Amino acid sequence: MTNHWIDYKNSDVIMNFGGNTAENHPISMKWIQKAREERGAKLIVVDPRVTRTAAVADLYAPIRPGTNIAFLSGLINYALENELYHKEYVLNYTNASSLIDPGFGFNDGLFTGSKAAENGQYTYDKATWAYQTDAEGKTLKDETLQDPNCVFQLMKKHYSRYDVKTVSEITGCPEDKFREVAELFCSTGKAGKAGSILYAMGVTQFTHGSQNVRSVAILQLLLGNIGIAGGGVNAQRGQSNVQGACDVGQLYHILTGYMPMPKDAEKDFAGYNATTPKSGYWTNRPKFLVSMLKAWYGNKATSDNDFCFDYLPKLDKDRSHVAMYKYMAQGEIKGMFCFADNPAVGGPTAYRKREYAKKLDWLVVADIFENETAAFWKAPGENPEEIDTEVFLLPAALHFEKDGTITNSGRWIQWRYKAQEPLGDAKPDLWIVDRLFKAVRKAYEAGGKFPDPILDMVWDYGDDADAVKVAMEINGYDAAGALVENFTKLADDGSTSCGSWIYAGYYNNESDPPCKRREKETEGIGSNSKWAFAWPVNRRIVYNRCSCDPEGKPWNPELPVLWWDGSEWKRNDVPDFNATVPPADTAQKPFIMTPELQARLFSSSMAEGPFPEHYEPWESPVANKMSKIQFNPVSKVWYPGDNAEVGSSEFPYIATSYRLTEHYQSGIMTRNMPWLNEVMPEMFVEISPSLAGKIGVKSGDKVIVESKRAQMECKVAVTPRLKPLKVNGEEKEIVGMFFHWGFMGLSKGASANDLIPSIGDANTTIPEYKAFLCNIRRVG
């Protein structure tokens, strides 16, 4: 989230796009309601089905799963064609005026620089996706926005293809509904109006998920909705600490604080540092890296040994979830740890997770209930006697049985206190990993393969690991050995240490650490700056320089985030820029994290191209209307032939997956709560009355749903809340399914994720859970 939950109350139009706030983030509805009651705000829901959020919305528009880019591009085009964008904002705060290499172009679904690669896919040479520069390397601009090679003109050209009729034909959203949405949401493209887009996995879980998010961002930039109160690109996180787990680097491709993992090609410390961006805040990266290495290797890390940089493993290739399991299938992975994660239900093509686990020598699982991942050898149809994998299932403490912080979607890092001792032999994950490390270190004290990174690792959190000690290490220490105030105090000479630079400041003193602060705001715009700590540096709305015009006057004086009073910056939030300088010095560089210091309407960092382009999901009932390129040309195909063909008659229906209010994620928590099982007892899929008529079923009947990969048997609900959509003039039916069930727990049932393809987004490799093809038939 660029903004935060309470900030919803400052919006004029809220668009729930690819999320289901009322069912999955219920309490935030309170702030949406507040905006509606106090500001007369409108709520739009765009979703393939009428959700419980749609039931209370002002405007509902249907959309075919997997066509978000087309829909959003249509909105972008609507804003551009009708001049509804925020001109001054776009001119000053985005790269709209930057001139692009004249060699750049786009033709029939491909940007310039494409080259055919394996499995019918492509790679890109991005040479032409670049700015025109002068002799000093400075980007050339045309502030009149008229140059045909400026970003703005290129964009207009690209998006002009997404007219309302085309968008409607692709997305299945009727033209009039689409127009209603466009008109209402684009009404926020002026000073003093705020539009917010709330999304969740309905935007990200696609082979083009990252470009979906970029489309959201581009639309919001055009309408001047980023950095202002009530605006933003707001990813509503589904889990309580999914934000924090990313922040401290529980991902293959990053270290802590989103620093990239070292790669083979970079060779060494110097090579890694050579990739440091040349402008923008990331120029400080060496400080953050060295400080992290000091936190990890203490006195052993010196400038003479590159601060133990070589102790870090180097990344050879994609090792994200789908890739990792592929390597497991190929026998590369022998031992695996799995903490509070349940890929045997939650992963794509989930049954294969169970299958591949057999290839492991050993598996260690820590959880609060016996989950399917640990019990894979008990799955229906398995013969345990043929499974050689050793499994260790460790009992973990529940959340209120341990101390520590979690980070919400609004980046608020909040302390959670321990209330009771864990039950039985259960232990906090902190204790478990601490003891595991100590046991491994002990084993290596007697020698072993390159034991240095293990033996030299700073690891001193007490006999029973103390979360406060870990927190202080993450926060870091300054050159004087005191807890570091914030990351601006970090250095690259080894004098400071910091476990995760973006968290510097969250525990910067022992007596009153910011993450434990509990002072609620009594007046202001809802920032609540004295409640907990928001990274970075307690900023609640990021890119907040954009909340003012170039002269420092708030676009909306009633909801000022910051304002220049003629001599200094006044604030309702922590400024996202050097607040000691007058507005003119920051007027054209509000986006400090990009090298351009401006937001990128055109970006060369995306795998697919500088502008999002509509491609069909990997499995689609129709040919791509926009070009000959059927699906994301740069997504890696891990399992060629694992997909149904375009317009498959064997799998004629569009399938999508989602959650229920009554259950949670892979269900291992809620399927063990009898009362919740009573109110939502079984797995089922949802179909429209017309599809039900076609296959001859009524609600409650048993059906078999099958995809190219697997099939499952469950019951069916026939509901008008799902309707066939008119795609390219043809009616297409949708099958909706929940993914909460598995074969363990008190309530057992078919896992919808068994049917999901193992293919991911080209940038993030997030799997395509939300759009695939299936067939459905009656049992018996």
Partner 1 sequence: MEYYYPPSMDRVTKEVEFHLEKNKNLAQIFEVYKGILAVQLDCLDKIKASVILSEKELKEYFRNKKFLMSDQKLEIESKLFREILGSICKAIKKASPEAPESLLKLSEAEELDEENIQELLQKIALYNKQELEYFIEEKEIDKKTELNSEIIAFVIFMSLSPFYSANMKEVREKVDFSSWRQSYCPVCGQTAVIAKHRSEDGARVLECWLCHAEWVYPRMECPYCNNSDQKKLRFFYVTGDKARQVHVCEKCKRYLKTIDSKIMEKDVLLDIEAIATSYLDELAKREGYKPPKGAVVLN
Partner 2 sequence: MTTKVRLIDVTKCVGCKGCQVSCKNWNQLPATPTEFSGSYESPPDLFPDTWSRVRFNEYDDSDKVKFYFAFFSCMHCSEPACMNICPVKAISKNSLGAVQVDRSVCIGCGACKGVCPFSVPRISNKMFKCTLCSDRISNGMVTACAKACPTGAISFGDANDKIAEAEARVTELKNNGYANARVYGKDELGGLGVVYVLADTPDKYGLPAEPKVSLADTYFWKVALGPVRTLATVGLAAGALSGWLQMRKEEIRKEKEGKE
Partner 3 sequence: MKISRRSFLWISGAAITGSLALKLGCAPKQPTTEPGGPVDVEDLRIQYAETTTAICPICGVGCGILVYTENGKIVATEGDPDHPINEGALCSKGSALFNMYYTYNEKGEAVPNPQRMTKVLYRAPKSKDWEVKDWDWALTTIAERVKKTRDEYFQEKNKDGVTVNRCTALAWLGSAMCNNEENYLFQKFCRSLGITNVDHCARL
Residue 719 contact among partner 1, partner 2, partner 3, none, beta carbon within 5 to 8 Å by kind: partner 2
In the complex, least distance from residue 661 CB atom to partner 2, rounded to whole angstroms: 6
Q: Which two tokens stand for residue 275?
A: 């990739």
Residue 370 contact among partner 2, partner 3, partner 1, none, beta carbon within 5 to 8 Å by kind: partner 3
Rounded to whole angstroms, the Cα distance separating 725 from 48 reads 9
Q: Using the minimum distance from each CB to partner 1, give the nearer residue, 421 or 519.
A: 519
In the complex, least distance from residue 614 CB atom to partner 3, rounded to whole angstroms: 23
DSSP assignments along 389-427, one per residue: -EEEEEEBPPGGGS-EEEE-TT-EEEEE---SPPSTT-B
In the complex, least distance from residue 469 CB atom to partner 3, rounded to whole angstroms: 9
Residue 245 contact among partner 3, partner 2, partner 1, none, beta carbon within 5 to 8 Å by kind: partner 3
Residue with tokens 């996995």: 201
Q: Using the minimum distance from each CB to partner 2, give the nearer residue, 69 or 692.
A: 692
- Burial class of residue 611, CB neighbours in 10 A (0-12, 13-18, 19+): buried
Q: Using the minimum distance from each CB to partner 3, give the nearer residue, 179 or 435.
A: 435
End-to-end CA distance of the chain: 48
Q: Using the minimum distance from each CB to partner 3, give the nearer residue, 402 or 614.
A: 402
Q: Which two tokens stand for residue 398?
A: 């529940």
In single-letter form, the type of residue at position 42 comes to: K
* 3-class state of residue 234 by DSSP: strand
Of 6, 22, 375, 498, the residue at the interface with partner 2 (CB under 8 A) is: 22
Count of residues touching partner 1 (by CB under 8 A): 6
Residue 680 contact among partner 2, partner 1, partner 3, none, beta carbon within 5 to 8 Å by kind: partner 2
Of 79, 363, 676, 756, the residue at the interface with partner 2 (CB under 8 A) is: 676
Residue 522 contact among partner 2, partner 1, partner 3, none, beta carbon within 5 to 8 Å by kind: partner 1
Q: Is 417 in the site for partner 1 (CB under 8 A)?
A: yes
For partner 2, which stretch binds (CB under 8 A), given 50-58, 214-222, 241-249, 371-379?
50-58
Of 661, 665, 672, 764, the residue at the interface with partner 2 (CB under 8 A) is: 661
For partner 2, which stretch binds (CB under 8 A), given 259-267, 416-424, 588-596, 712-720?
712-720
Q: Using the minimum distance from each CB to partner 3, give the nearer residue, 122 or 309.
A: 309
Residue with tokens 């924090």: 244
Rounded to whole angstroms, the Cα distance separating 267 from 121 reads 29
For partner 2, which stretch binds (CB under 8 A), given 587-595, 601-609, 681-689, 755-763?
681-689
In single-letter form, the type of residue at position 388 comes to: D
Give the gyration radius of the chain's Cα atoms: 26
Residue 678 contact among partner 1, partner 2, partner 3, none, beta carbon within 5 to 8 Å by kind: partner 2
Residue 751 contact among partner 3, partner 1, partner 2, none, beta carbon within 5 to 8 Å by kind: none
Q: Which two tokens stand for residue 575?
A: 């400024």
Q: How many CA atoms lie within 13 A of 127 on its CB side?
A: 5
Give per-residue burial for 730-748: e unless 16+ CB within 10 Å, then b.
eebbbbbbbbbbbbbbebb
In the complex, least distance from residue 523 CB atom to partner 1, rounded to whole angstroms: 6
* 3-class state of residue 186 by DSSP: helix
Q: Which phi and psi angles does 206 have, rounded to 5°?
A: -145, 160
Q: Is 748 in the site for partner 2 (CB under 8 A)?
A: no
Residue 453 contact among partner 3, partner 2, partner 1, none, beta carbon within 5 to 8 Å by kind: partner 3
For CA atoms 547, 550, 553, 556, give the dihedral sign.
negative
Of 88, 332, 390, 519, the residue at the interface with partner 1 (CB under 8 A) is: 519
Residue 281 contact among partner 3, partner 1, partner 2, none, beta carbon within 5 to 8 Å by kind: none
Contact 707, 737 (CB under 8 A): no
Q: Using the minimum distance from each CB to partner 3, give the nearer residue, 138 or 267.
A: 267
Q: Using the minimum distance from each CB to partner 3, give the nearer residue, 544 or 677.
A: 677
CA-CA-CA-CA dihedral for 671, 676, 680, 683, to nearest 10? 0
* 3-class state of residue 266 by DSSP: helix
Rounded to whole angstroms, the Cα distance separating 772 from 735 reads 10
Compose the 233-262 pattern: x for residues touching partner 2 by CB under 8 A, - for all others: ------------------------------
In the complex, least distance from residue 678 CB atom to partner 2, rounded to whole angstroms: 4
Rounded to whole angstroms, the Cα distance separating 407 from 214 reads 23
In the complex, least distance from residue 53 CB atom to partner 2, rounded to whole angstroms: 9
235 DSSP β-pair partners: 199
Beta strands in 592-741 (DSSP E): 653-658, 684-687, 702-706, 711-718, 725-727, 730-732, 734-738
Q: Using the minimum distance from each CB to partner 3, give the nearer residue, 242 or 695.
A: 242
Q: Using the minimum distance from each CB to partner 2, give the nearer residue, 384 or 720.
A: 720
Contact 294, 497 (CB under 8 A): yes
Q: Is 719 in the site for partner 2 (CB under 8 A)?
A: yes
Q: Which phi and psi angles does 329 have, rounded to 5°?
A: -60, -35
Q: Which two tokens stand for residue 646?
A: 């375009």
Q: Is 689 in the site for partner 2 (CB under 8 A)?
A: yes
Q: Using the minimum distance from each CB to partner 2, give the nearer residue, 572 or 747.
A: 747
For CA atoms 380, 381, 385, 386, give the dihedral sign.
negative
Residue 428 contact among partner 3, partner 1, partner 2, none, beta carbon within 5 to 8 Å by kind: partner 3
Q: Which two tokens stand for residue 131?
A: 């700015």
**Where on the chain is the footprint of partner 1 (CB under 8 A)?**
417, 518-520, 522-523
**Where on the chain is the footprint of partner 2 (CB under 8 A)?**
22, 26, 50, 52, 54-56, 660-662, 674-684, 689, 698-700, 715-721, 723
